[in-house]
Chains A and B, each alone.
Chain A
Amino acid sequence: MTTLNSNATEQQSPTFGFWVWLMAPERRGALLITPAIVLLFAMNILPLMWSFGLSFFRYRANRLNPPEFLGWDNMFRNYEKVTSSSAIWDSFQTTAIIVAGSVTLQVIIGFLLALMFAREFPFRKILLSMVLTPMMLSFVAVGVFFKFFYEPSFGLLSQAIRVFTGEPYILLGTKWGSIWGIIIADAWMWSPFVMLLVLAGLVSVPKYLYEAADIDRASWFRRFRTITFPYIKSLLLLAVLFRTIETFKLFDLVYIITEGGPGSATETLSVYVYRQGFQYFRTSDASALGYILLFVVIVLTNLYLYVVNRRSEEL
């Protein structure tokens, strides 16, 4: 009877057999990651492919006209157009200045903070938590804070300088003032990140090396050059690369503090792409520009991954 019933069940439900086949151990792994892959494809890959496709079309999202293919002979026209525009090179230049200024400042401040926090002193943990706070804040909060901080009538910066000069100080009134305003805000927010990475390197230096250096009466600089720096250099490089990639994409702080102004003096690449895409509605141009930006970021990311791999080999 039992055998008969079992045979009957197998014959009645062919889906059961499919289910057993599907859940076989060799297929289970693929099955488990399928939802994530589908989601990733729908939310990331598809829009990326779509926008990449649009970069070879003539299309504006605010027009009823459907996308129109530029033709095989002319398919890179959007790329040629955006790269031949003087405005885009101005934006590249502005972005490069902000990246160079901000990352340099972040490395200097982060490094000095790490040296300070590598030692034990009273209230160290409380102070460390406070120093880490800026990088935990949202970009909008930091942007609005600095916008008010720089405000010429009631901003703290202007009030402080006024004590000495008797005049309100208008940092955001000039190109270089505005660039410095953004660099300072970005460096204030992200120096703690550099500090964290450098600090991780500093605490990993074996104490006996410093004791040996003390016995050899090595100078402070020699101790730093021969003991400390070799331990932190790859972490420092990692911090520089990571922050370079992030600052290269900087949008939020710029848009909130200066909106790319005065005029277009602080229009970074991201702000430029946003304006092309969502204010001028040059959807195809913005897509092409987005992929140029992506290419630069990919190059930087590969550098980053190379450094990460090299560090893991060292360890």
Chain B
Amino acid sequence: MSFISKTMSAVAAGGIALSALTGMSMSSALAKDIVIKMAAPDWGPTRLMQDMATKQYKAKSGNNVTLEIDFIPWPSFYERVAASLSSGEKKYQMVVSDSQWLGAFIEGGHFAKLNTYIDADPELQALMKDLHPALIKAYSTYPTGADAYYGFPQMPDSYPTWYRKDLFCNAKEQAAYKAKYSRTLPCTYDDWKDVDWKDWKNIGSFFVRAKGEALGDGVAENDFYGTAYQAGKGYDFSSCQINSFIWQWGGDIWDEKNEPTGQAEGVVNSPSNVEAFQAYLDILPNSPPIWKTGQMDIFAVQDQFMQGNVAAVIDWAGLADPVLDASKSKVHDKVAFALNPGKRRADGSINRVAQIGGQPFVLTTWNDDEVMKEALDIVKWFLSTPVQKQFVEGGFLSGLQSVMAWDGHDAARPWNRAHREVIGELKDFWRIPEFFELLTQQQQEFDKAITGQISAKEALDNIAEFQQSLLEDAGRIK
């Protein structure tokens, strides 16, 4: 190669390198720094989402987009989010919202309707098709079931049964149970499919043991209790379980679908609701004594089970991962999961209709077009199949039907099968702007009944009277 051609080549190579560098610096100079701030409850599913976003998320737009989650403790989550949204500070671009909040914050003008974005984006349309219909109804639509979409599942949840397989599969315990109740003590997942509330009550009573009494192949180190489910005064920590009883007994809560003719009086305190609530109360004495204080919330149930004080509990799947952690749970190697119990129908099948758990995440109305696009890109990234599979492998649940049908879904965590099988039977609270007042008063009356101050009927009568008056004032009952 001649000197001239070598020089030309060097100049050309230098030019290419320079233009490449310039191009890079120009594109990085054009990239914007965008922070998507999201209010979320402080627990595993949101912590994992933050971790995955920090490590993996790269915006397709080329902007430097950061998802920054503001973790808020569960007990004050609603008050903090409501205060932020009502004050008009416009702090959050996204919010993880309990499904029952949708009405309040949509009517308040805070949560953005997404139909236009979905209609214009084939990726979002495909995503909506893949989401489980029960989750779209509960997490996305407002009014419930309408064609107006607002949210996507951040963490769908249900409450399976958590049980001690070392006790339920113990030959001595099985023989003793069979002798006492002429029923099989459920051991396998399939055995639990045949457990109704009558069995659950018997199981609870059967496993109550005083310290030092025989338990499994050993003796109880402390007082031991049969069963537990939520019975706490705070937030919705009894309503979620009581609603399930009410629905399974054939009753209902006041339903906004029947607005304005549907009444609270006569529905909320119907004889079947009283019977259902009484059935719930009758099972409580088999629980650890904290139930008598009205403080047996979902965290207390989780804690009692991890401490090895209870044979079986019903609690959210979202709280189950620490149970498998040897550093946190005394029963990490003794636990198995199954479907929640239900009420047996006349044909012998079991009605398992239950309260839906989990939360959608929504976008706020004050986002400009660019922020909205970036936020929706985060939604598409988080709800993409590979990321959702990682989320499931990380111990949490997905709302995508394709992920639920994936071979690894049920194997990822022992409660996933129960969640997948029950998700179609889940229902939600009222989702009207008045929900928090309804919930707060209901929780207080339930708590009075749980702690023995009033009867189930008195509690439901008080709730019905309050709801009738509030909903009439709000123009929802004519």
Contacts and interface: CB of A to CB of B under 8 A. Distances in A.
Interface string A268-304: 0000000100111100000000000000000000000
Contacts of B294: 261-263
A261 B233 contact: yes
B433 interface: yes
Nearest to A174: B451
A264 B448 CA distance: 8
Interface residues of B, number: 35
Contacts of B444: 261, 263-264
Contacts of B450: 262
Interface string B436-451: 1100110011011011
Interface in A157-215: 158, 168, 170, 172-175, 178
B453 A279 contact: no
Contact of B436 (A62, A154, A172): A62
Interface in B57-109: 79, 82-83, 86, 104, 107-109
B433 A152 contact: no
A263 B292 contact: no
Interface in B197-218: none
Contacts of A170: 289-290, 292-293
A151 interface: yes
Interface in B117-142: none
A153 interface: yes
Given A170-B293, A173-B451, A279-B436, A153 B86 contact: no
B289 A153 contact: yes
A252 interface: no
Contacts of A259: 233-234, 295
Give the most central of B109, B288, B436, B451: most A CB within 10 Å.
B451
A280 B438 CA distance: 8
B290 A151 contact: yes
A175 B108 CA distance: 38
A263 B449 CA distance: 8
Given A153-B304, A154-B307, A172-B293, A62 B104 contact: yes
A64 interface: yes
Nearest to B234: A259
A152 B289 contact: yes
Nearest to A263: B448
A87 to B, nearest CB: 10
Interface in B260-294: 288-290, 292-294
A262 B448 contact: yes
A61 B86 contact: yes
A168 B295 CA distance: 16
A246 to B, nearest CB: 23
Contact of B440 (A63, A154, A178, A279): A279
Contacts of A279: 79, 436-437, 440
Nearest to B233: A261
A271 to B, nearest CB: 12
A154 B211 CA distance: 13
Contacts of A96: none
A62 B440 contact: no
A265 interface: yes
A61 B454 CA distance: 32
A241 to B, nearest CB: 33
B243 to A, nearest CB: 19
Contacts of A61: 86
B293 A262 contact: yes
Contacts of B109: 64
A172 B82 CA distance: 30
Contacts of A173: 289, 292-293, 451
Nearest to A177: B293
Give the most central of A63, A153, A158, A275: most B CB within 10 Å.
A153
A152 B300 CA distance: 12
B429 to A, nearest CB: 16
The size class of the interface chain A forms with chain B is 20 to 34
B340 interface: no
A259 B451 CA distance: 14
Nearest to B470: A280
Nearest to A169: B289
Contact of A263 (B107, B290, B440, B451): B451
B108 A153 contact: no
Nearest to B289: A152
A64 B108 contact: yes
Contacts of A275: 440
Interface in A109-155: 151-154
B51 interface: no
A175 B293 CA distance: 10
A280 B437 contact: yes
Contacts of B223: 153, 168
B86 A262 contact: no
Contacts of B79: 278-279
A265 B445 CA distance: 12
B50 interface: no
B82 A262 contact: no
Contacts of B467: none
Contacts of A63: 433
B227 interface: no
Contacts of A262: 233, 293-294, 447-448, 450-451, 453
A174 B289 CA distance: 13
B309 interface: yes
B205 to A, nearest CB: 18
A178 B292 CA distance: 12
Contacts of B454: 263
Nearest to B449: A263
Contact of B447 (A64, A151, A263): A263
Contacts of B104: 62
A158 B304 CA distance: 16
A153 B292 CA distance: 11
Give the most central of B108, B290, B436: most A CB within 10 Å.
B290
A293 B234 CA distance: 25
Nearest to B83: A278
A281 B307 contact: no
Interface string A41-81: 00000000000000000000111100000000000000000
A109 B448 CA distance: 34
Interface string B287-313: 011101111000000001001010000
Given A62-B86, A152-B292, A262-B448, 6 more contacts: A62-B433, A153-B223, A153-B304, A173-B292, A173-B451, A264-B448
26 contacts: A62-B86, A62-B104, A62-B108, A64-B108, A152-B293, A153-B222, A153-B307, A154-B307, A173-B289, A173-B292, A175-B453, A178-B293, A258-B293, A259-B233, A259-B234, A259-B295, A261-B451, A262-B293, A262-B448, A263-B448, A263-B453, A278-B82, A279-B437, A280-B437, A280-B441, A281-B437
The 10 closest A-B pairs by CB, nearest first: A262-B451, A263-B448, A173-B292, A152-B289, A172-B293, A279-B440, A262-B294, A261-B294, A261-B233, A168-B289
